[in-house]
């Protein structure tokens, strides 16, 4: 299944490159990105009435490239993730009417990075959470060849122990020659969170389809103390034998992680369960 999907990704990429001129005129790409830019501009929003995450309870998060909600069953899958997780990181989310209706009915708090818009529908990473963050910042980085921005969203969640959980939802740029632009996008995020204290999770569709890209991600994130989650079962989408989706973490302890294939997207859904280190220490007393 993964081999067939890898072939499909390669063929899709070829057709996408052939049609890029047409796509560019159909997409509204702001001259000055409204939310953020990997070249230095960042847009943040602060919430006056944030809510705490209880560190005595497990932290369950889900990560899923939702494939622009193009395939049937995405809403059923999303409801399933919502039943078991307190934070959901979506990539390739679009504010189509069905998504807006789901958000209104579900009661989830949501933030979305404005990468670009098609027919008025915003596209970009979206973070859903039961708790309201105290601060959210959005970043974008333009694809060198496609000229469409990829996005990242930073969320700061207050914890019941007085610390702050930092979560980055990232969709890395895809089509590059070499890894210069790819590294630049990640560098902006690493520099932003490096001085932060408290637990940190960086996850999403990192487009790590080569050894060089995977090394960039692992080297940069391990340099600020993050570990990589291993999945069992591991049904993540692979291109050139490399998984594209990842979860990295520090300041929390991974209990278990799994990735489950789904016909509702070209990417498997990822789920990871953590306990806060403070809660773990109390439990061992």
DSSP the chain: -HHHHHHHHHHHHHHHHHTHHHHHHHEE--SS-SSB-TTS-BEEEE-SS--PBPTTS-EEEEEEE-GGG-STTHHHHHHHHHHH-SEEEEEEEE--HHHHHHHHHH--EEEE---EEETTEEEEEEEEESSPPSEEEEEEEE-TTT--EEEEEEEEEEBTTS-EEEEEEEE-----SSSHHHHHHHHHHHHHHTT--S-EEEEEE----SHHHHHHHHHHHHTTT-EEPP-SS----EETTEE-EEEEEESEEEEEEEEE--TTSSS-EEEEEEEEHHHHHHHT-
Q: pLDDT tens across 44-83, in order?
A: 889 988 899 999 999 999 999 999 999 999 999 999 999 9
Q: pLDDT tens across 111-163, in order?
A: 999 888 888 888 899 999 999 999 999 998 888 877 788 999 999 999 999 99
Checking if the pLDDT of 176 tops 90, the result is no
């Amino acid at each position: 299944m993964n081999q067939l999907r890898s072939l499909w990704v390669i063929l899709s990429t070829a057709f996408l490159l052939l049609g890029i001129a047409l796509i560019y005129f159909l997409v509204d790409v702001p001259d000055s990105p409204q939310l953020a830019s990997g070249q230095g501009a960042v847009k943040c929003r602060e919430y006056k009435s944030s809510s705490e995450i209880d560190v005595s309870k497990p932290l369950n998060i889900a990560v899923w490239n939702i494939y622009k909600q193009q395939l049937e069953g995405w809403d059923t899958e999303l409801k399933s993730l919502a039943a078991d997780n307190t934070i959901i990181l979506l990539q390739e989310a679009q504010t189509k009417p069905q998504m807006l209706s789901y958000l209104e009915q579900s009661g989830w708090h949501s933030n979305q990075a404005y990468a670009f818009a098609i027919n008025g529908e915003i596209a970009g990473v979206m973070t859903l959470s039961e708790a309201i963050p105290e601060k959210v910042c959005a970043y974008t980085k333009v694809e060198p060849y496609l000229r469409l921005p990829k996005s990242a969203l930073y969320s700061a969640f207050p914890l019941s122990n007085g610390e702050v959980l930092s979560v980055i939802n990232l969709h890395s740029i895809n089509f590059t020659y070499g890894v210069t632009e790819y590294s630049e996008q990640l560098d902006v995020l690493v520099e932003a969170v490096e001085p932060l204290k408290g637990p940190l999770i960086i996850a999403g569709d990192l487009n790590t389809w080569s050894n060089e890209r995977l090394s960039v991600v692992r080297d940069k994130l391990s340099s600020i103390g993050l570990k990589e989650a291993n999945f069992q079962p591991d049904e993540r989408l692979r291109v050139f034998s490399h998984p594209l989706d990842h979860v990295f973490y520090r300041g929390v302890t991974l209990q278990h992680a799994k990735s489950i294939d789904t016909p509702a997207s070209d990417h498997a859904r990822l789920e990871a369960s953590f306990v806060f280190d403070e809660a773990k220490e109390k439990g061992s007393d």
